[in-house]
């Protein structure tokens, strides 16, 4: 299991995307694994955006484990807009989870496209070796 979590003061600075891209290079290029699956809470738009930027695509959805409603999703007015992303379950709540997948072939295609764009942008025609 892999988890990524930054302190509130370090969010939205590109660190999560950079860290995940570095990990994916190791996972697909060095370890030669064929696919990476993950799940992400439906309400977590920022994390979903990071996974999409790295090439992950949605492949399913399901309800997560039941937990206490400590944030008060079903009590406080402010959460009304996201309530559909949770299910009330005998006094506990279950978050809706999206399953996502990235396969090595897609990662390789994306890496090749990025590399070609970089070569074209910088005009370094002799730069043919990928890092
Ligand atoms: C999820 C996490 C690791 C992402 O790392 P990060 O460094 O904050 O993310 P980045 O800065 O690389 O990218 C964030 C992207 O989400 C976008 N974003 C931020 N808030 C958003 C929102 N409410 N809705 C949609 N997109 C949002 C940003 O604009 C950015 O996309 P862009 O580059 O296209 O503009 C980090 O936010 C975190 O630690 N969150 C708390 C723990 C967590 O949720 N972990 C993941 C569990 S699956």
How far is the centre of ligand 1, averaged over its atoms, from the C-alpha of 72 (Å)? 23
Domain span holding position 107:
8-63+97-121
CA distances from residue 94 to 2, 65, 74, 116 in whole angstroms, order as listed: 21, 6, 11, 44
Is 76 inside a domain boundary? no
How far is the centre of ligand 1, averaged over its atoms, from the C-alpha of 12 (Å)? 6
Is 126 inside a domain boundary? no
Q: What is the mean pLDDT of the chain?
A: 93
pTM of the predicted model, to two decimals? 0.91
Q: What is the CATH number of the domain that holds 116?
A: 3.40.630.30
Is 13 inside a domain boundary? yes
Beta carbons of 40 and 100 less than 8 angstroms apart: yes
Ligand 1 pocket residue status of 6, Cβ below 6 Å? yes
Number of domains in the chain: 1
Is 52 inside a domain boundary? yes
Is 43 inside a domain boundary? yes
Is 114 inside a domain boundary? yes
What is the secondary structure of 13-80 as a DSSP string?
SSHHHHHHHHHHIIIIIIS---EEEEEEETT-HHHHHHHHHTT-EEEEEEE---B--TT-TTT-GGGG
Whether residue 128 has pLDDT greater than 70: no
pLDDT one-digit tens code per residue, 114-124: 888 888 888 77
Is 68 inside a domain boundary? no
Is 105 inside a domain boundary? yes
How far is the centre of ligand 1, averaged over its atoms, from the C-alpha of 124 (Å)? 32
For residues 51 and 71, what is the distance between their CA atoms, to the nearest angstrom? 25
pLDDT one-digit tens code per residue, 58-101: 999 999 999 999 999 999 999 999 999 999 999 999 999 999 99
């Amino acid at each position: 299991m892999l988890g990524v979590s930054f302190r509130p003061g370090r969010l939205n600075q590109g660190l999560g995307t950079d860290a995940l891209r570095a990990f994916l290079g190791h996972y697909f290029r060095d370890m030669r694994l064929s696919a990476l699956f993950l799940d992400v809470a439906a309400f977590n738009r920022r994390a979903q955006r990071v996974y999409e930027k790295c090439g992950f695509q949605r492949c399913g959805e399901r309800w997560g484990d039941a937990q206490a409603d400590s944030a008060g999703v079903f009590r406080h007015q402010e959460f009304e807009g996201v309530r559909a992303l949770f299910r009330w379950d005998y006094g506990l709540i279950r978050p809706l989870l999206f399953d996502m997948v990235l396969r090595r072939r897609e990662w390789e295609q994306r890496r090749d496209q990025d590399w070609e764009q970089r070569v074209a942008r910088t005009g370094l025609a002799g730069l043919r070796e990928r890092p």
